[in-house]
Amino acid sequence: MGVVNVTPDSFSDGGRWFDVAAAVERGAALLDEGADLLDVGGESTRPGAARVPVEEELARVLPVVEQLVARGAVVSVDTTRAVVAAQAVDRGAVLVNDVSGGMADPDMASVVAGTGAAYVAMHWRGHADVMDAHDTYDDVVADVRRELAERVATLRAAGVRDEQVVLDPGLGFAKTGESNWPLLAHLPELVADGYPVLVGASRKRFLGHLMAGPDGTPAPPAARDDATAAVTALAAAAGAWAVRVHEVAASAAAVRVAARWRDAQVGTAGGAAVHVRTEHATTAHATTGAAQEGAR
């Protein structure tokens, strides 16, 4: 999943793709690098970010979604607002990537149920301006799995089908540093819960701290791409459905390595190989029916 930020204040690119034409060309470049899916977002969720008016988010996102779909891209919309999700799906988006898991907008679940779009429910405990205060866990892996299960129950009650749902452990959201690593290390447990899993580690703060210089200064976002690709390889080998990344080429290569690694492991054991999709997808959401239908 390649990231297309249509924002002036993204932590990762500082607004390089804020213009609609620039965002569309950025999406096309990510496809050329090997992205199967483009995630278009019009509101920054970096730590401390303020919300933008819904009208502004719509103006940023909808033209980019429409133009990328017209170019044949499989598109998701990164939003916590039901009205943005509904209008983006109406313009051809096949997946709603909601970092709040439906908690930010009570109408989101009904929109997802009504449209039939695939839906990423991320682990979330509050908006960007307050989320760091919620980095308190008894057992981060158990707590995140439990809270995601609660979100799934709420979605089901609203009529969302299980095959529409993708889960995301929410790296960096209410997880400022060390609490991210156990979630990655125990990713197979989340995969085993039965839903496709999206991993969004790209350029996050905890990678900046890992790659800090001798004086302890965290590596800047653009210097975290090598570490991101390493996480991609490990996440793919652990069974993740997709990784959400700002730079695609290295992560696409990492996915191919992980696929061969897993095939060789399973082949040695005499079982059936598990293949990770790396080609350009006509139906990128290979494991849920909703986006397969939407992409046809």
| Residues designated as active site | 204, 244
Residues 9, 67: contact at Cβ < 8 Å?
no
Q: What are phi and psi of 93, to 5 degrees?
A: -65, 140
Terminal CA-to-CA distance of the chain, rounded, Å? Answer: 18
Tokens of 205: 């703060």
Q: Among positive and negative, which fits the CA dihedral 29, 72, 77, 240?
A: negative
